[in-house]
Amino acid sequence: MFDKKSLESIELIIDNHNEVNEDALNLVSSYYLDITDVRGSKIMEISNEEISMMIRVSDKKIYRTIKFPNTFKSSDEVVTFFYLCLAEARKKAPEDYPKTRIEIQIEKTLNLNTYITKVKNKKEISSNIIEITFNGGLESLPDLKNDAFMYFIIHKNIDHRYPENFVMQNFRELNAKKDNPYSAAYYTIRAYRENEIDVWFVLHDHPGPLANWAEKVTEDSEVAIWGPRSTFTPPEGTDNFLFIADETAQPAVLASIDNLEDKFNFKCLFETQDQSSQFECHDPNNCIEWIYRNDEPAGKGSELSKRIEELEMETDNLYVFGAGEARQISSIRKILKQKFSLKPDQMSFTGYWKRTD
């Protein structure tokens, strides 16, 4: 049996692959399982031994399993094995078979750089968000705009100096060993200037190395950052946007709306704890609506889903960008998909963090 943490991750993997990565499942069905005329694929179940799939072929459904080479004990093994199946399928697919979303994301990571930069300044944005300005070492960092995010690799000693040639691969190697002094997580570039970025760190009351580091860190402390990447990809002709975000994704939304053309319509639903964690932002057309969790913990707020259930919106040329706690965002995606019958390319939903208690 998988442990509780892996079981929860597997539930999210199934949900995410079925909802967002059906293109990758179809590639695997067609060229790893060698099924012809695949019209759709779903994962039914993942056990320690295999992935069970349901595949639509012309007018019927067939069921197949992908056996693991041995008994898997963790969700990480399942993820790695699925990527291997995808790579095998790609080798057999015709050259013009379109790239899947997963492959596009993997490709984007191939040429990313690692930058060593320093804390220049800290500023309180709200009761649970600190802005940190990083300066230096970022001369060649491209400005991707929108939800551009980077992987922040911090050292447990805030006075640590990184070797000049420190790169992501060093972190990966150390991460595979015990007693790795580094920890890492993704954060969004809230604002970009030459050789300088602002990043908003959400402070939360669980022991999290990154949030703790952001709270303690002082001017001149160093950090290594790897990236940037972006997932904000509205289809051509989009002029209507719905943004849904908890505190962790508000920087991505604010950076994205900073970059929208004036003629576009947009609405933002921002979930936060209470009035003290709401912050001032430029919103001349009242496009930002704040929703409080009040006594409910982060990731478990019920008011946001209620608000989405009752939401009325034009769905022509609509693009929805939503990010926050993984389970919460997955249930919001289902509500919206049903309510507005959106096509897959009209939605980008990402679990930015996962509640583990």
Nearer to ligand FAD among residue 241 and residue 352 (C-beta): 352
DSSP assignments along 142-184, one per residue? ----TT-EEEEEEESSTT----TT--HHHHHHHHTSTT--EEE
Which residue's Cβ lies closest to ligand FAD?
A: 208
DSSP-derived pairing of the beta strands 129-135 and 149-155: unpaired
DSSP-derived pairing of the beta strands 288-292 and 182-188: unpaired
Nearer to ligand FAD among residue 200 and residue 279 (C-beta): 200
Q: What is the C-alpha to C-alpha distance for residues 231 and 101, in angstroms, rounded to an integer? A: 10
Residues 6+ apart with CB under 8 A from 185: 151, 152, 208, 210
Nearer to ligand FAD among residue 168 and residue 298 (C-beta): 298
Q: What is the C-alpha to C-alpha distance for residues 86 and 100, in angstroms, rounded to an integer? A: 10
Q: Smallest distance from the beta carbon of 27 to ligand FAD, in angstroms? A: 24
Nearer to ligand FAD among residue 172 and residue 354 (C-beta): 354
Q: Smallest distance from the beta carbon of 190 to ligand FAD, in angstroms? A: 7
| Residues within the interface to ligand FAD (CB under 6 A) | 149, 183, 185-188, 200-202, 204, 206, 208-211, 248, 251, 298, 352-357
**3-state helix/strand/coil string of 237-288:** CCCEEEEEECHHHHHHHHHHHHCCCCCCEEEEEEEECCHHHCCCCCCCCCCE
Q: Smallest distance from the beta carbon of 291 to ligand FAD, in angstroms? A: 16
Structure tokens at 281: 């932002």
Q: Smallest distance from the beta carbon of 128 to ligand FAD, in angstroms? A: 8
Q: Smallest distance from the beta carbon of 351 to ligand FAD, in angstroms? A: 7
Structure tokens at 46: 């993942």
Q: Smallest distance from the beta carbon of 273 to ligand FAD, in angstroms? A: 10
